[in-house]
Amino acid sequence: MESLTEISLERVEHYLDVTRRARAKATPLVDPSSIEGQHLATMLRMADDYASDAKHFMTKGDLLRAFGAINYAHAWIDAGVKLRWLDGHGDDVLFTLP
């Protein structure tokens, strides 16, 4: 049984999947041309970049950095939902709802 203090490949893959599902589910609530829409675009770009970094670190065997990066990625998406710039569609598993 895996310890809750261990970072395994399976744990990183799980959070990569959770973040992928969150990114796919969250839909914009703001006009892309508004200042909020521009900020949201930056946030989602950061989420995508961190998710990409997580995959890179995972392939290099650096599970600690991969785990940190994927959690940053998810946090950017979750922040968009919390700010009500993204619609989390009532999913309180993938998001911290407003």
27 lies in a domain?
A: yes
Asked whether residue 98 is domain-assigned, the answer is no
Total-model pTM: 0.91
CATH code, domain carrying 19 = 1.20.1270.90
User: Residue 98: pLDDT above 90?
Assistant: no
Domain count, the chain: 1
Express each pLDDT in 48-93 by its tens digit: 999 999 999 999 999 999 999 999 999 999 999 999 999 999 999 9
Token duo for residue 59:
């392939």
CA-to-CA dists, residue 86 to 9, 38, 40, 47, 56, angstroms: 30, 13, 8, 13, 27
Is 32 a domain residue?
yes
45 in a structural domain:
yes
Q: Is residue 58 part of a domain?
A: yes
Question: Whole domain around residue 17: which residue ranges?
Answer: 9-86
